[in-house]
Structure 1
Amino acid sequence: MKLQFGTARPGLDYIHRPAVFGIAERDGRLACVRVDRGEGGVYYDLPGGALDGDETEQQALVREFAEETGLIIQPVDRLTEAGQYFLKSDGAAVNNVGGVWVVSVTGADPSTKQEADHELVWMEPLRALFSLRHEAHSWAVARWLRDRHAAASEPQRR
């Protein structure tokens, strides 16, 4: 059973939107995007977004990271699946449903960045946990932190 975050507002018809997001860590910080919609406000998201056509989650994740951040990534592990009810900047009611992946950053190509209102910011994980717009993203960061802590505290085997 997938996790569902947010609350569907009565009277709104939420569009099922297959989506994918990623957690990339570098030097103890997580890649996040600061989205500035002008009058629509400023918020933080994990990099990612909707799948286009017949894309796999991995293909969409590579494309979305490039478009939003200019980073070249490799999906490593599907951490979880979650849904998030929310209203887009244009007022459309959607339910983003899909995976959150742990990814590795393999490079950067600023020429691939297409979304001018998205800015790559590297955040401390706890700051990201409390700053991310979507509960599903915060939950995924908490899960990632727990998994890292558990792996780090396992006794070393010979």
Structure 2
Amino acid sequence: MKRVDVTYVLLFDEQGENVLMVKNKGKNASYYTLPGGAVETGETLEEAAIREVKEETGLDVEIHGVFSVGEAFFEDRGHHAVFFTFRGIIIGGEINISMPEEIEEITWMDSEKAEDYIHITNTKGLINSKSSVPYLLRKRII
């Protein structure tokens, strides 16, 4: 199995009630996720999270700790995926679908409804807690 790291960013609106979600075009059906995607070679988790949000939504974000870490085995693809979901805040940019071949919609979704799409097991209500753990980058060690 190939290890694949994936980052997502949990972003709330100014009222703290709705979560920014993207609707991805899938092979069989479209599906909602938080903005995010695969970490590229040589990229930190934080860099990947910021880049993916910008690419998918047009928004500039700042990362404020880790919301959750999860993993899944995709037998059909031969992938062992590790998901790093960060908390973030929007610091600039404008919502814009720059990759219409991948993203069909960007929407603000009620946090309880969004929780159904975030794929975090047994944590109903966790999305509205303000908890996070720090993200620590030890820099490059030679």
Aligned to 2:140: none
- RMSD (Å), alpha carbons: 2.5
Aligned to 2:50: 62
Quick check: 106-115 or 116-125, which moved more?
106-115
Which structure: larger Rg? 1
Indicate the SS of the match to 1:95: strand
1:79/1:140 contact within 8 Å kept: no
Residues 32 and 107 (structure 1), Cα distance of their counterparts in 2 relative to 1, 3 Å cut: same
User: Which runs of 5 or more residues in structure 1 are unaligned?
Assistant: 1-13, 149-158
Quick check: 110-119 or 53-62, which moved more?
110-119
Residues 102 and 108 (structure 1), Cα distance of their counterparts in 2 relative to 1, 3 Å cut: same
Matching residue's letter, 1:20: T
Structure 1 CA distance for aligned equivalents of residues 22 and 50 of structure 2:
15
User: Which runs of 5 or more residues in structure 2 are unaligned?
Assistant: 132-142
Quick check: 56-65 or 39-48, which moved more?
39-48
Aligned residues: 128
Deviation of 1:129 after TM superposition, in Å, equals 1.4
1:66/1:109 contact within 8 Å kept: no
Indicate the SS of the match to 1:40: coil
- Answer yes or no: is 1:124 the counterpart of 2:107: no
Quick check: 78-87 or 104-113, which moved more?
104-113
Structure 2 CA distance for aligned equivalents of residues 82 and 53 of structure 1:
20
Structure 2 CA distance for aligned equivalents of residues 141 and 20 of structure 1:
21
Per-residue displacement from partner, 1:31-61 (whole Å, max 9, x unpaired)? Answer: 1111123x52111111111100111111001
- Answer yes or no: is 1:105 the counterpart of 2:90: yes
Structure 1 CA distance for aligned equivalents of residues 6 and 55 of structure 2:
15
2:115/2:127 contact within 8 Å kept: no
Residues 127 and 55 (structure 1), Cα distance of their counterparts in 2 relative to 1, 3 Å cut: same
Per-residue displacement from partner, 1:113-152 (whole Å, max 9, x unpaired)? Answer: 335331211100111112x1x523x66784232347xxxx
Structure 2 CA distance for aligned equivalents of residues 51 and 123 of structure 1:
25
- Answer yes or no: is 1:146 the counterpart of 2:134: no
